[in-house]
């Protein structure tokens, strides 16, 4: 784990979003897991993201919604090929 990632991880841990557990056999290795609070943060963020998407696409017709979804899917697939 890089020093920057370790600092960010430590900062988030202090915010109680996740916890770190050092490997007893190899102290360089660290397992990171989310706490209940961490899962709650992700759930709230996802809910806000979905609400934003709905707001941004609320003016589209069903056909336009289908068209933009297809185009975004094509775009994402093209990124995977890079």
pLDDT digits 0-9 by tens, 10-29? 665 566 787 888 888 888 89
pLDDT in the model for residue 10: 62
CA dihedral 76, 78, 80, 82 (to 10 degrees): -140
Q: Give me the DSSP letters along 53-78.
A: HHHHHTTS-HHHHHHHHHHHHHHHHH
CATH of the domain at 9: 1.10.10.10
Which residue range(s) make up the domain with 61?
3-80
pLDDT digits 0-9 by tens, 37-57? 888 888 988 999 999 999 999
pLDDT at 7 over 60: yes
Provide, rounded to the nearest whole percent, the portion of the chain with pLDDT above 70.
Answer: 82
Domain count, the chain: 1
**Residues in Cβ contact with 69 at an 8 Å cutoff, skipping those fewer than 6 apart:** none
pLDDT at 60 over 70: yes
């Amino acid at each position: 784990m890089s020093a920057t990632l370790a600092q960010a991880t430590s900062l988030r841990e202090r915010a109680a979003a996740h916890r770190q557990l050092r490997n007893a056999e190899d102290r360089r290795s660290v397992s990171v897991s989310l706490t209940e609070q961490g899962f709650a943060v992700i759930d709230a963020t996802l809910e806000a993201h979905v609400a934003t998407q709905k707001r941004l696409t609320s003016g589209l017709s069903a056909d336009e919604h289908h068209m933009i979804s297809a185009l975004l899917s094509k775009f994402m697939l093209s990124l995977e090929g890079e």
